[in-house]
Amino acid sequence: MKKVLAVACLCMVLSCGGQKKSLVSSSGPIEKNISDSVHVELTKKEIKYAELADVKFSLEYLASDELQGRNTGSEGIEKAAVFIETLFKKNDIKPFFKTYRDSFHVKSVVGYNVVGYIEGSDSNLKKEFVILGAHYDHIGFGKQVEGDSIANGANDDASGTVAVLEWAKYFAKSKTNKRSILFTLYSAEELGLKGSEHLASRLKSDSLNLYTMINFEMIGVPRSKDKTLTYITGYDLSNMADKLNHYAGEELVGFLPEAKQYSLFKRSDNYPFYQAFHVPAQAISTFDFTNFEYYHHVYDEPDKMDFNHMTSFINKMIPAIEGIVNSDVKEIKMNGNE
């Protein structure tokens, strides 16, 4: 365990990662023979909450042996990309570019981010964008243990990927976002943030009006009950944590001393967006160096995940995200001490 945590501390990109089943289904709200006002209320409630079964299903597929650890350029990550694209299509989430894929090269390897888009409903605010992201790649294979060499990357970062997909489904149905949202799943994070670097540079070149970006890393296991549900990297750089807690109506996001100690703000896919746009772009995680010992390990598998925690995390974050995408002015700001 000490060796694994040492690697995590020194090398972490707050980074990323099984059964074979058909792709996620997403049925719409059930029609009810009641008044329109009650129907709207019930429909919103049905839409609002992610289902544990969907969360479990998506993660078990993305972190299954079939995907062989989702290394960039592999057949496994191609299957993961198709899974994400299919979910986007089924839920009427549009591609931001001509297709869902934002392709790039890392030496001889072809990688591709997958980018979904939901336009904002407000004629002015829709020109501003919020990015929700996670990396869907992992390292492929690791040190063999008991005959197993596939590093499935359940916590790192299939967990964050599933969260982003659930929020995409929610906003596609609820249509509650005044600002436009990009749902971005990155490849080549494990190769040094290459996917997010490429996408951030491309969007900057296109003069995207980016309000803020949040990256989600390793949210598959809970912290101890005496701690906040999550922590944010770069805590002092902006007022994002305070605003998220305000929007959520509870203290969800806190401070982790080790995050600053190990420069985690610079080690995940939020950082290229901060560099390119110089706006609040930070990462949220529940991994805190005490609650998960299988970083880049073949035991980072679905059976180590707490699906009740994941589902609760996803649902508790919805009002916080709604606050970001619906505030009349840009309330999340840099603190000026970066």
* Domain presence at residue 91: yes
Least confident of 2-6, 18-22, 205-209: 18-22
337 inside domain: no
Task: Look at residue 336 in the predicted model and tell me its pLDDT.
Answer: 75
Burial (CB < 10 A; 0-12, 13-18, 19+), residue 158, is: buried
For residue 275, tell me if it sits in a domain. Answer: yes
Q: Is residue 320 part of a domain?
A: yes
Is 24 within the bounds of a domain? no
Tell me whether strands 129-135 and 180-186 are parallel, antiparallel or unpaired: parallel
> Residue 161: is its pLDDT beyond 90?
yes
User: What CATH number does the domain containing 202 carry?
Assistant: 3.40.630.10
Q: How confident is the model at residue 48 (pLDDT cuts 50, 70, 90)?
A: low
Residue 29: per-residue pLDDT:
31
The neighbouring-strand residues paired with 185 are 114, 134
* Residues 19-42: tens digit of each pLDDT: 333 333 333 332 223 223 333 343
Average pLDDT, the chain: 89
Strands annotated E in the chain: 94-95, 101-106, 109-118, 129-135, 140-145, 148-151, 180-186, 210-217, 230-232, 253-254, 281-285
Q: Is residue 256 part of a domain?
A: yes
* Cβ contacts of 84 within 8 Å, gap of 6 or more: 100, 114, 136, 161, 165, 185
Nearest to 284 by CA among 44, 81, 14: 14
pLDDT of residue 189: 98
Please check whether residue 97 lies inside any domain of the structure. yes
Asked whether residue 98 carries a pLDDT value surpassing 50, the answer given is yes
**Tokens linked to 128:** 């501003």
* Upper half-sphere CA count for residue 108 (Cβ side, 13 Å): 0
- Of 5, 140, 8, residue with least CA distance to 67: 140
Residue ranges making up the domain that contains 269? 2-6+35-326
Report the domain count for the chain.
1
Choice among 17-21, 118-122, 123-127, 163-167 with the minimum mean pLDDT: 17-21
Residues 313, 62: contact at Cβ < 8 Å? no
> What CA–CA distance (Å, rounded) separates 208 from 177?
17
User: Residue 13 falls within a domain, yes or no?
Assistant: no
Give per-residue pLDDT as tens, 244-300: 999 999 999 999 999 999 999 999 999 999 999 999 999 999 999 999 999 999 999
Determine the pLDDT at residue 337.
54
Contact 178, 246 (CB under 8 A): no
Give pLDDT, residue 47: 56
